[in-house]
Homo-oligomer: A and B are copies of this chain.
Amino acid sequence: MASTLDEADAAAIADLSPRTERGRLKADRRAAILRAAATLFAERGYAGVTIEDLGAAVGVSGPAVYRHFPGKAAVLAAILQGASRTLLDGAEQVLDSSPDPDHALRSLIRFHVDFALAEADVIIVQDRELEQLDRGARHEVRSLQRRYVEHWVNTLSRLRPDRAETELRFRAHAAFGLLNSTPHSARIPGRRPADGTIRGILEEMTWASLMS
């Protein structure tokens, strides 16, 4: 908790140097807890999951989780920080390799669709449980998200310089609502198009809504 900056950094460094057997196991377990937690939080909500559940999901029981995270809130923080980091890094990489704004926007959309479909649990938790974080972690996640949005706004601004940035920012948020709807409707077990088809429809709808 607290600022969780040192915490996250230390963990990241630890993850990057698992030269010993013990260290590798620890890194694996930490990752397993995060994956399981994302699924459980998405299914039952942050408050509906106990520390006991978190441990049980990876085969240990209860207080063992505290060997990997200082508390329940830190697990949520790690999930949300990881997600917003991944999105931001991905967007910057996409923009670096885009020759023109048209290609950039298309790539941003494709990248976001891929992430939403691959990490549906994380998307749901990100939408839903941001305000459960303490001030420090919430600020950090929000800051990462804001930078991600600004990349979209800048790209849109180059395509439609006639429009106010305020409107483009609003449109970007609406587009995220559209893109992030898939994980939610996926939970409702209605019949739905094949995965490849979904990708195409989502990209088409998002482009049309942004450029309309």
Query: A residues touching B (Cβ–Cβ < 8 Å)?
Result: 43-48, 127-129, 131-132, 142, 164, 166-167, 169-171, 173-182, 184-185, 188, 190-193, 197-198, 201-202, 204-212
Copies in the complex: 2
Are B185's CB and A173's CB within 8 A? yes
Q: Can you list 24 pairs linking A and B with CB atoms under 8 Å apart?
A: A43-B131, A44-B131, A45-B45, A45-B131, A45-B132, A47-B48, A164-B193, A166-B191, A167-B197, A170-B192, A170-B201, A171-B201, A173-B184, A174-B185, A176-B181, A177-B178, A178-B178, A178-B209, A205-B209, A205-B210, A206-B209, A208-B208, A208-B211, A208-B212
The 3 A-B residue pairs with the shortest CB-CB distance, nearest first, are A177-B181, A208-B212, A47-B47
- Is the pair A128, B131 in contact by a Cβ cutoff of 8 Å? no
